Amino acid sequence: MTTWLGIDPGGRETGIAVRRGDRLLAWAVTVRRGQDTTPPADYVAAVAIDALAALADAGVAADDPALRVASEDVRYWPGRSGHHCPACRGTHVPARNMTGVLGAAIVHGAILARWPATVIVPPGQGHGGLHGLAYPEPIRPSGRGHDRARHARSAWDVTYHAETLANRAARADPT
């Protein structure tokens, strides 16, 4: 059975989830301290170490042929003051801060460098935003506002989305 390593890359907080079937095997959230606008190399290394540690906790080798890796893509949605977005039903779109996107892109690039066959999942799909009971017990929301496990919930959702994309690709390619 395929084991999925899901990653929700972020410049300040990165979620990691390892699952096989419907079982959460391991999870982690890497948090960066400090006020730097872009993540330093030690944070990017910590994300990779946490991903490898989550795999080890799950009893999966990083080069296991049954391992599939999924990462949420990073995309910048431009916005400017006074701009109205038709897709947002005419609501005001504030100016975007590019530094968060840049930090997430750095982490995403490091994941792709380590696992080049990563299934890239489009962002903006509501990852991590399902009803709390849709998630395994260890990463369910606490009900006390935002918690850091939301990044692990997003990584969990990324694995399911990636599995769907991979299955569609396999059906489309008859070879």
Q: Which two tokens stand for residue 53?
A: 């540690």
> pLDDT by residue for the chain (175 residues), tens digit each?
899 999 999 999 999 999 999 999 999 999 998 878 788 999 999 999 999 999 999 999 998 999 999 999 998 765 554 455 555 555 555 666 677 788 899 999 999 999 999 999 998 777 777 787 888 999 988 776 568 899 999 999 999 999 999 888 888 877 6
State the number of CA atoms in the 13 A half-sphere of 124 facing the CB: 7
Amino acid at residue number 95: A
Q: Is the CATH number of domain 3-172 3.30.420.40?
A: yes
Record the pTM: 0.84
